[in-house]
Structure 1
Amino acid sequence: MSRTTSPQRLTFLALAAATASFSMLQSLVSPVLSTIQHDLHTGQSTVTWVLTAWLLSASVATPLMGRIADMIGKDRTLLVALAAIALGCLVAAIAPNVGVLIAGRVVQGLGGAVFPVSFGIVRDEFPASRVPSVVGVLSAVIAVGGGVGIVLAGPIVDALGWRWLFWIPAIIVVATAFLAYRHVPRSPVRTPGRVNWAAAALLSGWLVALLVPLSMATSWGWGSAAVIAPLAAAVVLFAAWIAVELRSRDPLIDMRMMRLPAVWTTNLVALLFGAGMFASYAFLPLFVQMPAAVTGYGFGSSVTEAGLLMLPMLVTMAVAGTVSGPISRVAGVKAQLVWGCALGALASAGVALWHDRPWQLAAATAVFGLGLGLAYASMTNLIVQSVPAGQTAVAGGMNTNIRTIGGSVGTAVVSSIVTGHLRADGLPYESGFTTAFLVLAVTLAATVTVALLVPGARRRTAPAAEAPSGSRRARRAEHITQRRQHIMQRTWLITGASRGLGRALAREVLERGDRLVATARRPEGLDDLVRAHGDRARAVALDVTDATAAQRAVRLAVKEFGSLDVLVNNAGYANSSPIEGTSDEDFRAQFETNLFGVVTMTRAALPVMRAQRSGHILQIGSVGGRVGGTPGLGAYQAAKFAVEGFSEVLNSEVRPLGITVVIVEPGGFRTDWGGSSMRIPPVGADYEQTVGRINAYRRAVDGAQPGDPRRAARVIAGLVDVDEPPLRLLLGSDALRMAEQASRARAAEAERWAAVSRSTDFDGVVGLTEEPVARLLAHGAR
């Protein structure tokens, strides 16, 4: 099992602090609205906008900022979101009137992107085997943060005043931003494109038109034109938004992604569960604050006491969220989602039926906390694991938004039920609370049914070789069904997968949930991967120079998994010796593997990909295939240069067929490429200052190369999720530096000799006389 390293712990600490700060701002203000109303001399309907404005801002900003994060980098967007939260808190803390306070809350809401961006960073920076656990803990932090806001609001206001509800988060967020700047790495996965501002405007429009009347329906009246007209407008704007997104080349929200079974069912669960979660947050503290001596129910608790009664929920939420990841091997994320919804329904029914003693409510909130912790973590995990890495933030943002919309609907409905019939003294009847929590129980029970529709883990199918020959049509139908149900799950074929970068990439692919045919000359080195992922991994003995074996490996991928989506030509090696001292046999052998092996594997895969009209061919080249000139690597770099030329032509031929070609050009990585896998014979005296020095340097830096194979594997795996990947991609700061220096040197040399180059044209074409050419040749262009 992968362990969380120290840098990853600091990354997680920054993300936890960021999400906790924003989560607290969701609920910190709610219990003290009456205090703010009195202090700022405003009315009930106006002070409500302190909540509504934040809700609208967060709802609009979350998916938009999520899309921007996928484009420019989640690390940068996280800092922007934290800056917005800090600025909004500062404005709110010094607000002289309610208008400025509302403006500050709008700015705070722009920080809503911290939730989806944080989960996207977790997927980018943590090993896939650790992602469910880390997501579970982070989800627990978010859920607990919302509850902590309710608990702390009273004590903070009593001791320091309501303005410290914003000063304290501001201080925490500034410290968090510094921590994030230092310890959140740059995003390795980005999705090029642009923001579709028309779609963004329509998205903002229907969200505002939906959420404003829902938030104000109790005050305005459900049947009033002020409520009905915006809701009708929301329907129209929603339909227009869908139409624009479906036609867009750069959609803000990819509707194909939203149609994935795991995504739309999880989002529907989020809508219903959000209704129960937010309504419980809002009305359970209100219930315990009811004066029992006057109403005959409630406990007459203060804001502080009401918050303390929520402590059991916070504890169980934290526990459930924390154990969600570790228990996922026993109880999968779908089972956790079902149980979380069921526990929420049970707790809501408990509140409705048994609420005469504080311990009864404490027990119900504890059960509800378990449900919240499990459901929150499992919903997030399902979204993170079901979409491409390049769309994690925007997909997570929409899930958060849908949960918020559900919360708005649930809160509005419960508010209407509770306040629908008031006593003469203006307080609600007990029956209003009872009915409201029964409605929440029914809603959450319905959520259990929806959760059961979420696709579960795919069962392992029998190998095709074991099926009778007459079942070919049935096997084909089964493959088609699996492709439809797991549209984001790809089949990879990686050569040279037993060591080095190939090994790291094989592990990354499997941890992403994809399927893999891993090849090596000695496949026993892959046994541990097959044991750990037997239903999705096959190990094959392969010599890439053997055309028959290459075709056999491709056929196996299609036979076992129904397709071949990604070919990674990684197998290769180098020996270091002067060109003069390299035998013909060695020179040809390196070309056979490093060049003709690539050609052979590519030609074997092309018929399948061409029939599919889709596929990715990733050529693991070398910065030496772009720059060259390394003494001792004549055969190796010549072959890599040839791979680049071959791949450029290949790209021109197959791109119209839906097949993508990417040449990956790594620099120095901590693998054994220059160690045990490289043969270095003795060097003669004449080549000691060139080849000998390079060999000595290579031995000296072995194990200290700048490149991290795990990070490189993550970037390479993410290329298949990018709509427009580069033809060439340099990996490593050293590779980038070498390529830049070589590019500048070549450009300068071409400029110096430009006149000579033009002099070979026919007279009159460029108007260059022989006299300056002779002068250049005589004095030299250098």
Structure 2
Amino acid sequence: MSSSRANPLVMVLAFAGIVVSLMQTVVIPLVPRLPGLLDATPSDANWAITATLLAGAVATPMMGRLGDMYGKRRMLLLSLSLMVVGSVIAALSGSLPGMVAGRTLQGLAAGVIPLGISIMRDELPRERLGGATALMSASLGVGGALGLPAAAFLAEHADWHALFWTSAALGTVATLLVVALVRESPVRSGGRFDLLGAAGLSAGLLCLLLAISKGADWGWTSGTTLGLFGATVVVLLVWGWWQLRAAEPLVDLRVSSRRQVLLTNLASAVFGFSMFAMSLVLPQVLQLPKATGYGLGQGLLSVGLVMAPSGLVMMAMAPVSARISKLKGPKWTLLTGAVVVAVGYGLGAAWMSQIWQLVGVSALIGAGIGIAYGAMPALVMAAVPVSETAAANSLNTLMRSIGTSTSSAVAGVVLAQLTVSFAGHTLPAENGFRLVMVIGAAAAVIALGFASFLPARAPAVDETDLGKTPDLVYHLPPRSE
């Protein structure tokens, strides 16, 4: 593919990824106001967040597999269309059921980023692939970081429905750009869709993520929470048994258990944990009153402006990530990213007293995440057949999402246990925030440990050898024109 066609393709797909990640952020400024806006209890209003999380977890692996079977561009357009419809429903809604329905449809677009990475693998020449997939992978964080200040501004100066109309408009633009500039890839796996496998994985993920996201409300030792965790284990064990015996499984566990894929997915889950820990601590420290002695007394718009540099740095790190991978291999890129994130969280545990310190910490952590996220698609695609690219990338994205959900639950428990009393209110204590940052650093160190066991760079082998040398497979160059 010539540069005149490759550049628009990369920009369109990256824009689509940023729009989808922005969609997940757009509701954050509304969270404290949702109960009043939707005439619901705080616990019920949280379903506007939980529904998106659950829908994204279910849709991501399915869209990946369907993309491999029936066309990645087709599934990309379907995902973006569902996001637009969901945004319109949420924009027209004034009640909880309508909001949950709209947010559920928005969540079904979570497969856009892995689908975009897979299209890049099919369409781009090898020399362009590293930087392009690094940018696409980083868009998961870029959209959230850049969208927060914009969403905060709209929430403060316009009717809250404008947030969803904006999401619908951006989704429509992304859809039209994909129609105009992205062609359908001829790489297909064919076969039949594993409905039983899809149902089993969906049930297991719903049980797991419901327990994680609602455990604090229901009680971590309640029968409901423990029952959901138990059901998760049983359902996923049965699902795994079926996947190993199905002729055309939803997720090829034999491929997913290869050393390189397995370790990359484990590192991705831990990195997802690290990425979200920062997002839970810094906004609260910024917004707490100065009279607490550790709060900085800033408004929501200021919070967005402090967090925005991390998104810009993530984007800037995409070519750096690709360069490290080219020179040393993606394993060393992932190791580098883990070290940078660990250092960032370590500084964050000590630096919380000034706005400039928080800007520096978020930018440093963003740099590490941008470097590491750029390596993950390269590691996954190096070890899977071309016909399974979308499914493998979708599973990797799902692992990141599970990490972020777990991060929210762990941070919630820590901040709920370490509290102080201020002006008649119970607030998270400074030590609680510092402990969450330390946990974020520890998570990055764990990711470093997983990455250290990844195989060293190996020469490319023929696609037919994938089953013979599971740890030494690096992807073939995509076709070029």
TM-score, scaled relative to structure 2? 0.94
Structure 2 contact 281–436 (Cα < 8 Å) conserved: no
2:269 alignment counterpart: 271
2:105 alignment counterpart: 107
Equivalent-residue separation in structure 1 for 2:29 and 2:288 (angstroms): 14
Alignment of 1:3-152 (within 5 A): 4-152=2-150
Equivalent-residue separation in structure 2 for 1:82 and 1:332 (angstroms): 33
Structure 1 contact 26–149 (Cα < 8 Å) conserved: no
Give 2:117's aligned amino acid.
F
2:435 alignment counterpart: 435
- For residue 336 of structure 1, give the secondary structure of its aligned residue in structure 2: helix
Give 1:484's aligned amino acid.
T
2:160 alignment counterpart: 162
Give the drift of 1:486.
Answer: 4.0
Equivalent-residue separation in structure 1 for 2:377 and 2:467 (angstroms): 23
Which of 460, 469, 474 matches 1:484?
A: 469
Residues 1:354 and 2:341 are matched in the alignment: no
Superimposed CA distance per residue, residues 60-81 of structure 1 (whole angstroms, 9 cap, x where no aligned partner)? 0110111111011011111111
By relative contact order (CA 8 Å, sep 6+), the higher-ranking structure is 2
- For residue 130 of structure 1, give the secondary structure of its aligned residue in structure 2: helix
1:601 alignment counterpart: none
Which of 384, 387, 395 matches 1:390?
A: 387
Give RMSD over aligned pairs: 2.0
Residues 1:224 and 2:222 are matched in the alignment: yes
Which of 314, 322, 340 matches 2:337?
A: 340
Structure 1 contact 81–112 (Cα < 8 Å) conserved: yes
User: Higher helix fraction: Structure 1 or Structure 2?
Assistant: 2
Superimposed CA distance per residue, residues 109-152 of structure 1 (whole angstroms, 9 cap, x where no aligned partner)? 11111111101100011012211111112223332112112222
Matched pairs, number: 474
Residues 1:325 and 2:310 are matched in the alignment: no
Superimposed CA distance per residue, residues 216-251 of structure 1 (whole angstroms, 9 cap, x where no aligned partner)? 122222111121110000000010110000000010
Give the drift of 1:256.
Answer: 1.2
Residues 1:312 and 2:297 are matched in the alignment: no
Residues 1:375 and 2:397 are matched in the alignment: no
Equivalent-residue separation in structure 2 for 1:302 and 1:173 (angstroms): 28
- For residue 469 of structure 2, give the secondary structure of its aligned residue in structure 1: helix
Which of 175, 178, 181 matches 2:179?
A: 181
Structure 1 contact 30–282 (Cα < 8 Å) conserved: no
Give the drift of 1:481.
Answer: 13
Equivalent-residue separation in structure 2 for 1:481 and 1:158 (angstroms): 54
- Name structure 2 gaps, 5 residues minimum: none
1:455 alignment counterpart: 455
- For residue 188 of structure 1, give the secondary structure of its aligned residue in structure 2: coil
Larger gyration radius, structure 1 or structure 2: 1
Structure 2 contact 330–379 (Cα < 8 Å) conserved: yes
Give the drift of 1:385.
Answer: 2.6
Give 2:120's aligned amino acid.
V
- For residue 181 of structure 1, give the secondary structure of its aligned residue in structure 2: helix
1:444 alignment counterpart: 444
Structure 2 contact 459–472 (Cα < 8 Å) conserved: no
2:426 alignment counterpart: 426
Give the drift of 1:489.
Answer: 5.8
Equivalent-residue separation in structure 1 for 2:323 and 2:29 (angstroms): 35
Give 2:437's aligned amino acid.
F
Equivalent-residue separation in structure 2 for 1:279 and 1:105 (angstroms): 23
Give 2:397's aligned amino acid.
T
- Name structure 1 gaps, 5 residues minimum: 461-479, 491-508, 513-708, 712-782
Structure 1 contact 342–445 (Cα < 8 Å) conserved: yes
Equivalent-residue separation in structure 2 for 1:174 and 1:260 (angstroms): 39
Give 2:389's aligned amino acid.
T
Equivalent-residue separation in structure 1 for 2:459 and 2:64 (angstroms): 33
Structure 1 contact 209–234 (Cα < 8 Å) conserved: yes
- For residue 428 of structure 2, give the secondary structure of its aligned residue in structure 1: coil
- For residue 435 of structure 2, give the secondary structure of its aligned residue in structure 1: helix
1:190 alignment counterpart: 188
- For residue 316 of structure 2, give the secondary structure of its aligned residue in structure 1: helix
Alignment of 1:589-668 (within 5 A): none
Equivalent-residue separation in structure 2 for 1:37 and 1:162 (angstroms): 13
Give 1:222's aligned amino acid.
W
Give 2:426's aligned amino acid.
G
Superimposed CA distance per residue, residues 462-490 of structure 1 (whole angstroms, 9 cap, x where no aligned partner)? xxxxxxxxxxxxxxxxxx99953446469
Alignment of 1:719-734 (within 5 A): none
Equivalent-residue separation in structure 1 for 2:22 and 2:219 (angstroms): 30
Per mean C-alpha deviation after superposition, the further-off stretch among 391-400 and 425-434 is 425-434
Structure 2 contact 324–333 (Cα < 8 Å) conserved: no
Give the drift of 1:346.
Answer: 1.3
1:260 alignment counterpart: 258
